[in-house]
Amino acid sequence: MGDFGVIADVSTVIVETLTQALRGLSQVEPPIAELNDLSETVQTPPPKLTVFLYEIAEDPTSRNRPPVRSQPPDPPNVRKPPMALLLRYLITPWGGDPATQHRMLGRALQTFYDDAILDGVQLSGSLAASTDSLHLSLTPLTLDQKSWVWYAIQKPYRLSLNYEVRVVNLDSAVETAVRPVNSRAISGAAMP
């Protein structure tokens, strides 16, 4: 289950997965992945794939889940179900020649196509040792939609990939104690 740091943990998992995948592209200067908000110029060398979280949304398919009850031996309590999040990322190559940038994009596509569900030992931080899994999918955006993302960060358009990660569970911090039933009373009306 994810605490308030789950968004940062998901970003770290994506960066680590991409960095591992990029290692084999070059023996001289292997490209790396880095988390970047694109507010500053991306420093190269080495060539980089930036991972930019540009949108967080609630997953509408996971609404109305039941409350979560504690398991024994913990004291009985109940809390709101986790908030199910969708995280949308822009993955952009920087540095090197165009062929290197295309190879970086191809490797990122291949990595998330071959392993579209990250789980188990691939997860770290608050997601480590959890039963959660992250489902990655390439998000189909029109050229206009992609241009608006670049316009919003005030940078010229660059070839990039848009990935959506679902479902990221953000646990509620509010717990309510559940009191056990100690007695009951049955009342009824007399029948005529």
Q: What are the tens digits of pLDDT across the range 50-105?
A: 999 988 888 887 777 766 776 666 667 777 778 888 999 999 998 878 888 898 99
Report cis status (omega within 30 of 0) of the bond before 167: yes
| Residue spans of the chain under pLDDT 70 | 1-2, 27, 66-67, 70-75, 173-176, 178-180, 192
Please state the pTM of the whole predicted model.
0.79
Domains of the chain and any CATH numbers: 6-65+78-174 (3.30.2000)
The string of DSSP letters for 139-157 reads: ----HHHHHHHHHHTT---
